[in-house]
Amino acid sequence: MKAEQKGEIAWAKEDEVRWVQWRVRERKALEACKPTAEAWRIKGKFRLVDYQAWLLRQKGGFAEISATEMLELFPAEVATVQPEVLPLSYQRIGDLLFAELDDPDNRKKRAADAHNRVESEFRRGSLKRSSKPIIIARERL
């Protein structure tokens, strides 16, 4: 079933990109020990690198981001990537974000897994979040 059939409205791709960019900013603030004003309401359960990998896999992942913001949101190696080359392959994302791993296949898999985790927040991918069915216990008469 599509999201529209279930009564949910699918997000526009630009909105998804802005939402994930915001998550990156939140995670960066938390890592720098600068909690946001409403740190207790931070959404999303994934790591900074997950959101970064998702942005690198999107065609408009750098939409409305200046060069200065790129340096704030991504490691220096990633900040040199031009928006025209997006989306990057999982191998390239793995090489940029998981460079500490020796095995190139492991880097590629980690990049794909990171992307998939964020996709699940939009109820897509193989890790879709779905609500648990409500089980109503009946009393025995």
- Tell me which of 108 and 125 has the higher pLDDT: 108
Structure tokens at 96: 């940029």
Q: Residue 105 pLDDT more than 70?
A: yes
CA–CA gap between residue 90 and residue 64 (Å, rounded) = 23
Contact call for residues 111 and 94 (beta carbons, < 8 A): yes
- pLDDT value at residue 134: 45
**Backbone dihedral angles phi then psi of residue 94, each to the nearest 5 degrees:** -60, -40
pLDDT > 90: percent of the chain? 34
Q: What is the pLDDT of residues 22-55, one digit of tens each?
A: 889 888 887 777 665 565 556 557 899 999 999 9
Closest CA to 14 of 63, 54, 51, 50: 63
- pLDDT value at residue 132: 52
Helix axes 90-97, 48-56, angle to 10 degrees: 140
- pLDDT value at residue 31: 78
Q: Where are the domains of the chain?
A: 7-121
- Give, rounded to a whole angstrom, the gap between the first and last alpha carbons of the chain: 38
Q: Residue 56 pLDDT more than 60?
A: yes
- Tell me which of 63 and 130 has the higher pLDDT: 63
- Tell me which of 81 and 136 has the higher pLDDT: 81
Q: What is the pLDDT of residues 77-93, one digit of tens each?
A: 888 888 888 899 999 99
